[in-house]
């Protein structure tokens, strides 16, 4: 009985260590996620697996123009370490299909201080029309308003501009809501 208990304790310890390491890696270093929807067509497709570097979020880096990032769209609430832990895929293994989509995959279009305009189917950043060869189709959105991206925020948009809920609808994204940058896809 003592030998069995020792063996069982060893297995439990190994499983607990594996769980903790998986959690640490997924929260702070790299995490897989799945594309849900068509807002990033043709770059990313519905159901496609992507790998996200969590290092920008962990160390507070500002993403570069054109980076594909995952963001928490609940911009009116403060994020915490507990949110990062609860977002880990291990906690969603046995979850039914959650209809509340709060994590978006988008492209960084503007950073702090940038002036953005949307005219004639194009985005203008600081007066210059953006060259965006990755777009799915011409954008139908136009606005007479100019958007100034606040400090510690980014402005994100989907590549399928006509079918994307992005910063045009939810506003600029606080940097602490940028959860990581895409590093690979399957």
Q: Hey, where are the domains in the chain?
A: 2-185
pTM, whole model, 2 decimals?
0.85
Side by side, the strands of the sheet bearing 147-148 are: 128-129, 122-125, 115-119, 147-148
pLDDT at 69 over 50: yes
Q: Which residue in 39, 167, 172, 181 is the catalytic one? A: 39
The one catalytic residue among 106, 167, 181, 182: 106
Between CA 167 and CA 147 the distance in angstroms is: 10
87/37: higher pLDDT: 37
Three-state secondary structure call for residue 64: coil
Active-site residue 6, yes or no?
no
User: Catalytic residue at 78?
Assistant: no
pLDDT of residue 154: 97
Give the whole-angstrom CA distance, residue 3 versus residue 84.
Answer: 39
Q: With beta carbons less than 8 A apart as the criterion, state whether 68 and 89 touch.
A: no
Q: CA–CA separation, 81 vs 126, rounded Å? A: 35
147 closest CA partner among 179, 172, 176: 172
| 139 or 98, greater pLDDT | 139
CATH class of 2-185: mainly beta
Contact 65, 111 (CB under 8 A): yes
Higher pLDDT, 99 or 94: 94
């Amino acid at each position: 009985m003592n030998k069995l208990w020792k063996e069982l304790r060893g297995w439990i310890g190994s499983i607990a260590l594996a769980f903790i390491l998986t959690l640490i890696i997924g929260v702070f270093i790299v995490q897989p996620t799945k594309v849900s929807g068509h807002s990033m067509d043709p770059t990313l497709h519905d159901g496609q697996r992507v790998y996200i570097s969590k290092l920008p979020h962990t160390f507070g880096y500002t993403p570069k123009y054109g980076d594909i990032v995952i963001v928490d769209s609940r911009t009116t609430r403060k994020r915490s370490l507990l949110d990062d832990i609860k977002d880990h895929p291990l906690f969603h293994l046995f979850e039914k299909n959650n209809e509340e989509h709060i994590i978006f995959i988008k492209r960084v279009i503007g950073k702090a201080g940038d002036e953005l305009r949307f005219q004639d189917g194009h985005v203008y950043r600081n007066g210059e029309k953006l060259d965006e060869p990755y777009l799915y189709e011409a954008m139908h959105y136009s606005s007479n308003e100019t958007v100034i991206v606040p400090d510690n925020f980014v402005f994100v948009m989907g590549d399928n501009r006509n079918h994307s809920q992005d910063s045009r609808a939810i506003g600029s994204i606080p940097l602490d809501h940028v959860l990581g940058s895409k590093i690979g896809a399957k």
